[in-house]
Chain A
Amino acid sequence: MIPGVAADFSQDNIWVSLVKAVLIVVFLLTSVLFAIWFERKVVARMQVRPGPNWHGPVGLLQSLADAMKLLLKEDVNVTRADRVTYLLAPMISVFCALLVFAVIPFGPEVTIPFTDFTTPLQLTDFPVAVLYVLACASLGVYGIVLGGWSSGSTYPLLGAVRSTAQVISYELAMGLALVSVFIMAGSMSTSQIVASQAPLWWFIPLFPAFVVYVISMIGETNRLPFDLPEAEGELVSGYMTEYSSMKFAWFFLAEYINMLNVSAVCVTLFLGGWRAPWPLSALGDGMLNEGWWPILWFLVKLWAVMFVFVWVRGTLLRLRYDQFMVFGWKVLIPVALAFAVVVAVMQWARRVAEVPLENTLVVIVIVCGIAFLAIWLWPERARPEKPDESAVLDAFADGYPVPPLPGQKLPPSPRGRRAPLEHEPDQEHQADDLQKEGVTGE
């Protein structure tokens, strides 16, 4: 038994670990195939079209067909690429993405059928498991950065630079949101955190942290509405523009595995992990929280979070880059930090000072009241004056073919040598048009 860890791995040996590791990889690969189908199908239903429905039952084999196609495609190594880094980058991406599930608990201890061998449904766990998850997620950025940089092309480089700034910014908000979970659970071991959620899942008392986590997990995995590193309209497909065949497939796979990773972390830390939802958890003395049932609850919650990913993608538009960064730094990080402080003070009052609940509530009400008054009475910043819109608009001022904005003074045209446009020809039509628009002509 490892101190500070709820699950007991004392019966596992290296062969059990190998079996579990292979099962995790197989689970992730099949989940990705399913996730691609799921995403396409759900987005299609949201846009009132059928989606993939040709290969296999309800199109389920579509993503398998895509994967086979990618495997059989030509493996292009662009000439300008830095060869070694270019080859290594997709492998780093997929390698780091596959590691996170090592510490995700799928369930409690189970007895393998027909034997008396018991083992937790988890590869391993240690007192700093969540730190390990964050480390793997951060290292995954190297794949994107090196891939974009080594391609020797403009779009991938821009995508890589954007991705770095984005992922590190949102990782901070994510890390700060997790602090409140650690304060409440008193541990960073995933099995211990799941065990601590037996009375109440953390997303209820820590709702603001949960919201910050959900937003930053979408930013962290470069998904819509935050998929700026591969914004199709601007950067072709960002850091993976120059990749083809399996190298492209690895980037694609890593992106979907990362979605599964952050969803699984979300489920484990906020949504009770493998614990059965409330009315079911009370059934039959908690029998649904034992044995093989928890896998079902874990998967249901995992796919519920994955559905949120797809739902957000189907609903929201891509943000502009500056709005996105400002949102991360000026909204998410201060909110996450402030909430961590609030949780710390509350927990101190409850656990250390043992203040009665009524007193705590009174203090909360007073603090909220002061904050509300301060926001209400804070002097508002003067709005910039609106330009005078009553001025007569001359649509054919120097700005032709782009009419000037109301009140705009145009600089002298660089094509000044050209004679100013006379409205001599077509005088009658011109007058008509101007009258229709209610503008007085010259």
Chain B
Amino acid sequence: MTNPYVPVLVLMAVAAVLALGGVAASAVIGPKRYNRAKLDAYECGIEPTPHATGGGRLPIKYYLVAMTFIVFDIEVVFLYPWAVDFTTLATFGLVAMLGFLALITVPFVYEWRRGGFDWV
């Protein structure tokens, strides 16, 4: 096969059939004896707390984690092609990458010192 991505599509098709089929089968096979309490949200048997519209508020920490993640994820994405072509890029590649990593380390240390990674 000339295109190596076609088998991935084949596997995707098989996986999709399985994923859809399972849920559909249980919807057909299973018993259906509903009542109001069964369809309510689970909260250990008490009346569930009403939800704020839009999901409510979350601690700002999660937002910080997401921001830092993007910085580092892009760093990793830049590291991969360099790692694969390591011997071809030779000294120039190493120096350039070390400079790049040093630049990424500065905000990392800054965030660390400012308490961006402290959770309490």
Contact = CB atoms under 8 A, between A and B. Distances in A.
A42 interface: no
Interface string B78-95: 011001111100110010
A74 B31 contact: yes
Interface string A335-375: 00100110011011001110000000000000000000000
Greatest chain B CB density within 10 A among A70, A75, A101 is at: A75
Interface string A150-170: 011111010001001100110
Interface in A67-81: 70-80
Contacts of B26: 70-73, 75, 245-247, 249
Prevailing SS type, chain A contact patch: helix
A71 B119 CA distance: 41
A98 B18 contact: yes
A79 B39 contact: yes
Contacts of B6: 14, 17, 124
Interface residues of B, number: 69
B5 A124 contact: yes
Given A5-B4, A164-B62, A242-B42, A182 B119 contact: no
A169 B31 contact: no
Prevailing SS type, chain B contact patch: helix
B36 to A, nearest CB: 8
Which interface class (under 10, 10 to 19, 20 to 34, 35 or more) fits A? 35 or more
B117 A246 contact: no
A329 B20 CA distance: 37
A195 interface: no
A99 B15 contact: yes
Contacts of B58: 161
Contacts of A20: 7
A305 interface: no
A265 interface: no
B114 interface: no
A396 B41 CA distance: 43
A276 interface: no
Given A71-B25, A168-B66, A351 B83 contact: no
A9 B39 CA distance: 51
A21 interface: yes
A176 B84 CA distance: 14
Given A175-B76, A344-B86, A99 B91 contact: no
Interface of A: 2, 5, 9-10, 12-14, 17-18, 20-22, 24-25, 70-80, 87, 90-91, 94-95, 98-99, 101-102, 123-126, 131-132, 149, 151-155, 157, 161, 164-165, 168-169, 171-172, 175-176, 179-180, 182-183, 186-188, 236, 241-242, 245-247, 249-250, 321-322, 325-326, 329-330, 333-334, 337, 340-341, 344-345, 347-348, 351-353
